[in-house]
Amino acid sequence: MNGTVVANARGFELQVDQSFGNCPKYIQARAPWWTGQTAAVPAVEREGASLSAGAAARIARADTLYIASGVPGEGVDVSHRGGKRGFVRVDQCASGTLLTFPDFVGNFFFNTLGNLTAHPFAGLLFIEHDTGSTLQLTGRASVVEGGSEVEAFAGAQRLVRIKVDEGLSTHSSLPLQWSEPEFAPQLEATGHW
């Protein structure tokens, strides 16, 4: 859903401009619960273009990420990407950290891929579901269509690559936790790095 948040006397309203369904095929089902607790002042660590070992390890354990993309003048979209734990490959290179993850068959809207092709900037959010900690990253994106690297990852239609610019790691910042995931059955047919 894309829209505009408008403040009013009761709080706020969301005026919907666009609405479309996300493909549920690779979404892990989790039951959330309210802990009501966060760190009094959550510890925030800055990340640069070369991610710390701790941030890289958090990404390497992830089975879910959220990606924000947009085109100037058109608004911003946020989409879910999921896979088996470790579906995001973390490569450290001389110029910084490079993240690569598969793009599986979805809803055929291609909003995220279209946005990244037109305007190759992205935001990523990784949530640690057992602690409420988050890792937020920004970077420059590219879409890899075809080739041996795509073919080597079972189920991938293409790959999305993010060259990290910077980020924030926030510990115990969400007053929520989630159950262990119920993995989507479609993941059985997908590969790993």
Domains of the chain (ranges, CATH numbers) = 21-183 (2.30.110.10)
Which pLDDT value is given to residue 2?
A: 74
Q: Name the burial class of residue 170, with classes exposed (0-12), middle (13-18) and buried (19+) by CB atoms within 10 angstroms of its CB.
A: middle
Which pLDDT value is given to residue 40?
A: 72
Per-residue pLDDT tens digits for 98-152? 999 999 987 666 889 999 999 999 999 999 999 899 999 999 999 999 999 999 9
What share of residues in the chain are helix, strand, coil (percent, to 5)? 15, 45, 40
Average pLDDT over residues 83-108: 93
Per-residue pLDDT tens digits for 55-81? 999 999 999 999 999 999 888 888 889
Q: Where are the beta strands (DSSP E) in the chain?
A: 2-8, 11-18, 32-34, 44-47, 64-71, 75-82, 89-93, 96-103, 121-128, 133-145, 158-170, 176-178
Structure-token pair, residue 7: 């403040």
Distance between CA atoms of 7 and 23, rounded to whole angstroms? 31
Q: How confident is the model at residue 153 (pLDDT cuts 50, 70, 90)?
A: very high
Per-residue pLDDT tens digits for 7-54? 989 888 888 887 777 777 888 999 999 988 766 777 899 999 999 999
Per-residue pLDDT tens digits for 155-184? 999 999 999 999 999 998 888 899 999 998
Which pLDDT value is given to residue 108?
A: 66
Distance between CA atoms of 120 and 169, rounded to whole angstroms? 23
Which pLDDT value is given to residue 39?
A: 62
